[in-house]
Structure 1
C-alpha cells in the first residue's frame, strides 16, 4: 500500500513567495542531478519570474500534498516553445496543441512513495480540462533517470520513442525516452 494513497494532491501557480523554496528544491542533490539548474536568486528570477508574472505561455505549478508544497510541474503547449517542438518533432509525430509536462519532487523524504506517478496522472487529467484542444500529453525523460520514466509509466503514459534530445545536465547521454498519452 502506498503511504500517501489517500492524501490529497493539489496544485497552484508558482508565486514569487515560492522562489526561495524552489531554489532549495533545485539545490537538493537528487533534484540537482537531473535538473542541473543555477539556483542563485538572479537565475531563479530569470528562469521562473516570467511565469510568476504571467508573462510566460507555459505554467509553473507548485504541487501540494494535503496543502504542503512538495513538488513542481511545468506544463505547456509544446508549439509555444520552438526548441522543444523541434526536439519532440524529430522524435515523434507531434500533433498541434499537444502539451508537455516536466516535474520534480523537491522533498527527498517524499520520493519513492508513489507521489510522482499520482502527480503526473493528476496533471494529465487536469490537462484535459484546462487545455480542451490538447490531443495528447508528452513527457521526455533522460533515459538514465529510471525513477522518472517509471513514474510516467505508472501514471499511464506509453513510451513511444527513444531519441537524442538535449539533456538538462551535460553529463547525461542525450538518449531520452518519450512518453505519450492521448485524450480519452
Structure 2
C-alpha cells in the first residue's frame, strides 16, 4: 500500500542518494551534497516555500519523492505553460522520482502518480486539475503519466530542467473526477 508523508531533515541523506542515481540525475539535474539538499528542500520543510515535498512509501519502505504545488505560486511556470494550454486558476502540478533503479520498470511510477492524484483530490477540494510538463525525451516519465490516466494536451517549447536538453516538452493534464 502506498503512503505519503512530508519530507523531514532525516530524509535529506536519502534524497541526496536518490538525486545522485544516474536515472534520476539525468532529469533532475540537482546538486547532491548535504548542503545543497538542505538548501533546496529545507524551505519547503519549513513552509517558506509554497510547494510540498513528500516521500512515497510502499509497505513502509520509501520508494520515491513527489513535489506538488499550485501553478499560480510559480509565475515562471505559468509563463511557459499558458502559450501551450489553458491553465485554470486552481491548477496544481507534480514532479516525481523513483529513487532506486531497481524499483523502476515495475509499475511503481504510475502507481505513485495515481496515488498522488487521489491524495490531491482528497486533500484539496478546490483543485480543478493537475498539469504536468515533461521533457519529450523522458519517455518513461510521460508513459507513467499516461498509465496513471493523464492525457497529453499539448506539446511545445518550455525551459528544460537540465541545460543539456532542448526545449521540447509534452504537457499532460487530468481534471478532477466528477462524482
Question: Shared fold (TM-score greater than 0.5)?
Answer: yes
Instruction: Tell me which residue corresponds to 1:148.
Output: 141
Cα offset, 1:163, TM superposition: 1.2
Give how far 1:130 is off.
Answer: 1.3
User: What residue ranges of structure 1 are gaps of 5+ in the alignment?
Assistant: 1-7
> 5+ residue gaps in structure 2?
none
State which of 6, 10, 13 in structure 2 corresponds to 1:13.
Answer: 6
SS for the counterpart of 1:90 is coil
Once the 2 structures are TM-superposed, how far is the Cα of residue 43 of structure 1 from its aligned partner? 1.5
Q: Deviations over 1:55-87 (max 9, x none)?
A: 221110000010101100000000011111211
Q: Structure 1 length normalisation: TM-score?
A: 0.94
RMSD: 0.8
Residue number in structure 2 paired with 1:90: 83
State the SS of the aligned residue for 1:179.
Answer: strand
Dislocated runs of 4+, deviation >3 Å: none
**In 2: Cα distance, 1:90 partner to 1:25 partner:** 33
CA distance in 2 between partners of 1:111 and 1:62 (Å): 16
How far did 1:90 drift?
A: 2.1
Match of 1:75 among 56, 68, 77: 68
Task: Give the count of matched residue pairs.
Answer: 177
TM-score normalised by L of structure 2: 0.96
Partner in structure 2 of residue 124 of structure 1: 117
